[in-house]
């Protein structure tokens, strides 16, 4: 199962949390991200890379190479524990189950030093921690979100349990729950500190093992918080509002040839008031949120630079495969209106006197998110944002840099998914997946496809044109074969209806072809039935839930 250490590369997989498609410079953004941009331009940038529509399902797919419904995250744990239909059902455990084997386990077995530092979101209990899933060293944020500074006054143990399902701790090092963080803790900085520390001790110890390093940031996920000096450097940058930013980003995407010149972006969909209808105070508050978001992204980039510099200083950069991605589309939801945990968050903020005034936003004692209009500036030309199976929710920035392959310094328009990463890394590491059995238990085989032949220019595409990929989360569904995609997401006021798009001509999903191409839709729906059957998708009538959700949103927007 292993090969000689000298012939195998290292791996550094970096995941941003809720980063939009065009947020970094190499993908059309104005945010200062020189370190990511440099590595992206040296490597291969993907324009058609897809994840799940939310964070923990994507992470499950990334680390196993298979569909999240098989891996235990058929639904996000925060939702599945509140929906009786999911209780006790295989694939809906809310954590990485025993029906999969992780990439870290396989690489550890093959002699790799496996290490992670950052957001886990794949299990809260002792038996589901990173240390039990193949990581030799780890420091992890366990739930899906937390304050980025060492400031959680509103969350005593009983509140932690009601909000995130654990009364132990938000953080864990190896198998030990951490109750106290350093006073100067800031998530992106500290995650990077610990990763470099783990790698440095291994390097200084003289053990000649290749490494697999996993650095999943919790930035720029809400709450939006960043160092003050970086926030201030963006002052005034977003004073023209999200529509102007969307237009500028789209123009830059065309200039960089990341999208076609004739692309038609999907219209913005939002219950929020339009920029022009806001008063001066409303615009100031909204723009300030975007300034903080930009500062979070810049700080994340600075930390990526620290890891890259360490690799260069130790002479390991060119023997390290660097993969970067976001876990889903930009976060456009109005968190305070989400029944699952919005009530807990907003009650906590109100009861503990968080200061969300414009001049204080971004500091430890503020707690904000930026909403659907700024999110759609980043997902253009795609439709909508995180939690939707439209392109805005599942198409994310991604790139791979490794001098050991031919296809570098280029742009790829080939369809790819997060499930491809495990088989790609295994092939580069010369490690064979065990198939359907691992250490005496049955496991799911990868559904992804290795990129290696494509990277070595042996193939012209990663997946064949008849390849089928499905998505489902929160009852929102999609199925894609080649450039054709069927989507079912309109579930707010009525039962869902399938729509059909040709992404080659319409990446913005603006022209529904369901009525003009009924036979094509029938073919895709047969594929959907097979996908749902083979992955164990549980059908729940979510549209009543989303009707309630939007009722809450409209009421909050009307009454404040």
What is the rounded CA–CA span in Å between residue 424 and residue 484?
25
Output the six-digit token pair for 128.
């589901």
What is the rounded CA–CA span in Å between residue 56 and residue 120?
8
- Residue that the structure tokens 């199962």 belong to: 1
Catalytic, out of 55, 68, 266, 463: 55
Q: Which of 463, 469, 461 is nearest to 485 (CA)?
A: 469
Q: Is 121 a catalytic residue?
A: yes
Q: How many CB atoms lie within 10 A of CB 38?
A: 17
CA distances from 281 to 226, 285, 463 (A): 22, 6, 50
CA distances from 51 to 43, 338, 487, 498 (A): 20, 22, 15, 20
Q: Is 479 left (phi over 0), alpha (psi -120 to 50) or beta?
A: beta
What is the rounded CA–CA span in Å between residue 383 and residue 394?
10
CB 426 within 8 A of CB 450: yes
User: Residue 115: which residues within 8 A CB-CB, separation 6 or more?
Assistant: 135, 136, 137, 138, 195, 198, 199, 202, 211, 212, 213, 214
What is the rounded CA–CA span in Å between residue 446 and residue 299?
34
What is the rounded CA–CA span in Å between residue 33 and residue 44?
17
- The secondary structure of 521-552 as a DSSP string is HHHHHHHHHHHHHHHTPPP--THHHHHHHHHH
End-to-end CA distance of the chain: 59
For residue 207, the cross-strand partners are none
- Residue that the structure tokens 């990173």 belong to: 130
CB 121 within 8 A of CB 145: no
For residue 46, the cross-strand partners are 398, 412
What is the rounded CA–CA span in Å between residue 70 and residue 64?
10
| SS3 readout for 271-302 | CCCCHHHCCHHHHHHHHHHHHHHHHHHHHHHH
What is the rounded CA–CA span in Å between residue 403 and residue 262?
33
CA-based max dimension of the chain: 65
User: Residue 519: which residues within 8 A CB-CB, separation 6 or more?
Assistant: none
Q: Is 441 left (phi over 0), alpha (psi -120 to 50) or beta?
A: beta
Catalytic, out of 50, 69, 121, 527: 121
Positive or negative torsion for Cα 500, 505, 511, 513: negative
Please state the φ and ψ torsions of residue 228, each to the nearest 5 degrees.
-60, -40
Q: Would you please indicate which residues are annotated as catalytic (active-site) residues?
A: 55, 121
């Amino acid at each position: 199962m292993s090969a000689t250490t000298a012939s195998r590369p290292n791996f550094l997989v970096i995941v941003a949390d809720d980063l939009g498609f065009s947020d970094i410079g190499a993908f059309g953004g104005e945010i200062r991200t020189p370190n990511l941009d440099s590595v992206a331009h040296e490597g291969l940038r993907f324009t058609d890379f897809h994840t799940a529509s939310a964070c923990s399902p994507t992470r499950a797919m990334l680390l196993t190479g298979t569909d999240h419904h098989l891996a235990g995250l058929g639904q996000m744990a925060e939702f599945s524990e509140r929906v009786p239909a999911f209780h006790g059902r295989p694939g809906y455990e809310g954590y990485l189950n025993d029906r999969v084997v992780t990439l870290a386990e396989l690489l550890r077995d093959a002699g790799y030093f496996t290490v992670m530092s950052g957001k886990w979101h794949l299990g809260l209990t002792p038996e589901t921690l990173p240390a039990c899933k193949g990581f030799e060293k780890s420091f992890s944020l366990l739930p899906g979100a937390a304050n980025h500074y060492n400031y959680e006054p509103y969350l005593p143990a009983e509140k932690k349990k009601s909000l995130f399902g654990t009364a132990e701790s938000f953080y864990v090092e190896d198998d030990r729950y951490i109750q106290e963080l350093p006073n100067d803790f800031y998530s992106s900085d500290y995650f990077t500190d610990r990763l470099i520390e783990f790698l440095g001790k291994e390097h200084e110890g003289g053990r000649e093992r290749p490494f697999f390093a996993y650095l999943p940031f919790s930035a720029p996920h809400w709450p939006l918080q960043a160092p003050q000096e970086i926030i201030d450097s963006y002052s005034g940058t977003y004073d023209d509002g999200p529509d102007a930013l969307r237009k500028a980003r789209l123009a830059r995407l065309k200039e960089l040839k990341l999208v076609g010149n004739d692309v038609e972006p999907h219209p913005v969909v939002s219950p929020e008031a339009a920029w022009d209808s806001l008063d001066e105070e409303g615009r100031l508050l909204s723009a300030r949120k975007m300034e903080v978001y930009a500062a979070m992204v810049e700080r994340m980039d600075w930390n990526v630079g620290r890891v890259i510099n360490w690799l260069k200083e130790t002479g390991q950069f060119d023997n390290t495969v660097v993969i970067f991605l976001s876990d889903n589309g930009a976060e456009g939801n109005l968190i305070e209106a989400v029944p699952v945990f919005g009530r807990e968050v907003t009650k906590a903020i109100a009861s503990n006197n968080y200061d969300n005034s414009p001049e204080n936003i971004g500091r430890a004692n503020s707690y904000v998110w930026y909403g659907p209009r700024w999110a759609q500036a980043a997902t253009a030309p795609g439709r909508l944002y995180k939690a939707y199976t439209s392109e805005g929710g599942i198409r994310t920035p991604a790139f791979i840099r490794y001098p050991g392959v031919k296809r570098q310094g280029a742009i790829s328009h080939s369809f790819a998914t997060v499930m491809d990463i495990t088989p790609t890394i295994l092939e580069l590491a010369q490690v064979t997946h065990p198939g359907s059995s691992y250490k005496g238990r049955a496991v799911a085989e990868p559904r992804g496809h290795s990129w290696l032949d494509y990277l070595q220019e042996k193939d012209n595409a990663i997946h064949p044109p008849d390849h089928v990929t499905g998505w489902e989360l929160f009852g929102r569904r999609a199925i894609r074969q080649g450039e054709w995609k069927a989507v079912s997401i309109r579930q707010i006021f009525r039962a869902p209806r399938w729509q059909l798009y040709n992404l080659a001509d319409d990446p913005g999903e603006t022209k529904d072809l369901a009525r003009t191409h009924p036979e094509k839709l029938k073919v895709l729906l047969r594929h959907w039935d097979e996908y749902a059957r083979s992955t164990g998708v549980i059908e729940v009538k979510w549209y009543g839930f989303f009707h309630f959700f939007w009722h809450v949103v409209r009421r909050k927007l009307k009454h404040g």
